[in-house]
Amino acid sequence: MNEQLTDEERELASMVRDFADTVVAPQAYEADRTHTLSMDVVAQMGDLGLFGLPFPEEYGGQGGDYMALGIAIEALGRVDQSIAITLEAGVSLGAMPVFRFGSEEQKQELLPDLLAGRALAGFGLTEPEAGSDAGATRTTARREGEEWVIDGSKQFITNSGTPITRFVTVTAVTGTEGGRKRISTIIVPNGTPGFTVEAPYDKVGWNASDTHPLTFDGARVPAANLLGTEGSGFRNFLSILDEGRIAIAALSTGAAEGCLEASVEYAKSRTIFGSALSTRQNAQFTLARMRARVHTARLAWHHAARLRDAGEPFAEQAAIAKLVAGEAAMDNAREATQIFGGNGFMNEFPVARHYRDSKILEIGEGTTEVQLLVIARALGLAG
């Protein structure tokens, strides 16, 4: 992980990597098997300051940046994607919208616990009929006096039903303007009457990550729970997704590296026809391509993160990073499973879990096709 890092960043990478190897990895198989997010691991991540990495100290953060967050997520993604996405979503989708668009009162009230890992929050964007096309949002919020009344549903919402989930921020149609839906974002505390966190999904992967559908049936929250200005929700969520794509690219790079590390170790120890698998040229070439993917993916997300942290435009580079890194994770997981042979089909081996987990990296936070669309538009090819 030491390519183009400062001394402070190398220290962070080493610290989180050690935590991942000694605390996260030993519990990963059982957590995956039982579909259980370890709140003890979450608490320890909070104690290490990981949830506060890219936030200023005045709100309880570490005063770092998105590069620091990506370094931590990559190190965790090597050994357990469920834990990595818990951190990624807790920061990018939980705390970051409050920090970026919240009032000072909202920041002071909500951020300290989120940045310390004492609380988690979800971001309710996706709906049964509105995924990449968020303009198709059907959830509504109407103003009645000093309250918003919310009706609708959301799906695939991460960190929405944990024991420490404090609230979800939801996108909702609050009217129309110029013939278009006016989409706003509203904070809905857990326990609000009319707000139901439905049963968790039975997923292909990320089994230890907390993911639920949400239902809103006349859920009432104070008017002051509006996050940002009315009608700015769609624009705000786009900027949040751009940042999140960098973090997902970092997670994907970690997954790709975890597959590579496990495959190199296995190839050296596995004897086939009287010699180590690693001595076979076809295995060497496979591992060399896996290494090249890790290197390329890391450079891509590093570049996007450096641009973001410097205040430069980064949307295209974030899309490139997510595209390249997501495909690297999926390709490395497939080839790692082949290197492991029959063992690669057993969930007790990390590469099997990476094989199941990695597909979502080509879907979540914008599909591969959406990234291609973003890149094409940057080339002036918008239709």
* Residues with a known catalytic role: 365
Q: Which CATH number fits domain 7-119: 1.10.540.10, 1.10.150.80, 3.90.930.12, 1.20.5.440?
A: 1.10.540.10
Q: What's the confidence (pLDDT) of residue 237? A: 81
Contact assessment for residue 91 and residue 247, using Cβ atoms and an 8 Å cutoff: yes
Write the single-letter amino acid at 47.
D
Contact assessment for residue 189 and residue 168, using Cβ atoms and an 8 Å cutoff: no
String of DSSP letters for 167-197: EEEEEEEEEEETTEEEEEEEEEETT-TTEEE
Domain limits, the chain: 7-119, 121-231, 235-378
Q: What's the confidence (pLDDT) of residue 76? A: 98
**Residue among 311, 214, 248, 335 at smallest CA distance from 74:** 248
**Residue among 334, 352, 356, 354 at smallest CA distance from 255:** 354
Q: What's the confidence (pLDDT) of residue 180? A: 85
Which two tokens mark 370? Answer: 């959406």
Q: What's the confidence (pLDDT) of residue 383? A: 61
Task: Give the other-Cβ count within 10 Å of 115's Cβ.
Answer: 29
Q: What's the confidence (pLDDT) of residue 271? A: 85
Q: What's the confidence (pLDDT) of residue 56? A: 96
Buried b (16+ CB within 10 A) or exposed e, 296-325: ebbbbbbbbbbbbbeeeebbbbbbbbbbbb
Q: What's the confidence (pLDDT) of residue 139? A: 96
Which two tokens mark 287? Answer: 């591992």
Give the list of residues 6+ apart from residue 353 with CB closer than 8 angstroms, or none. Answer: 28, 29, 32, 81, 205, 347
Distance (Å, rounded) from C-alpha 116 to C-alpha 118?
A: 5
pLDDT in tens, 24-68: 999 999 999 999 999 999 999 999 999 999 999 999 999 999 999
Tell me if the domain spanning 235-378 has CATH number 3.30.465.10. no
- Domain 121-231: give its CATH code: 2.40.110.10
Calculated CA dihedral for residues 98, 104, 110, 114, nearest 10 degrees: 60
Within 228-381, residue ranges assigned H as helices are: 233-269, 281-309, 315-340, 350-357, 368-378
**Residue among 164, 94, 161 at smallest CA distance from 125:** 94
Q: What's the confidence (pLDDT) of residue 313? A: 95
Neighbouring-strand partners of residue 120: 165
pLDDT (tens, 9 = 90+) of the chain, 383 residues, equals 456 899 999 999 999 999 999 999 999 999 999 999 999 999 999 999 999 999 999 999 999 999 999 999 999 999 999 999 999 999 999 999 999 999 999 999 999 999 999 999 999 988 988 766 767 889 999 999 999 999 999 999 999 999 999 999 999 999 988 878 899 999 999 999 999 999 999 999 999 999 999 999 999 999 999 999 999 887 888 888 889 999 999 999 999 999 999 999 999 999 888 888 899 999 999 999 999 999 999 999 999 999 999 999 999 999 999 999 999 999 999 999 999 999 999 999 999 999 999 999 999 888 999 999 999 999 999 66
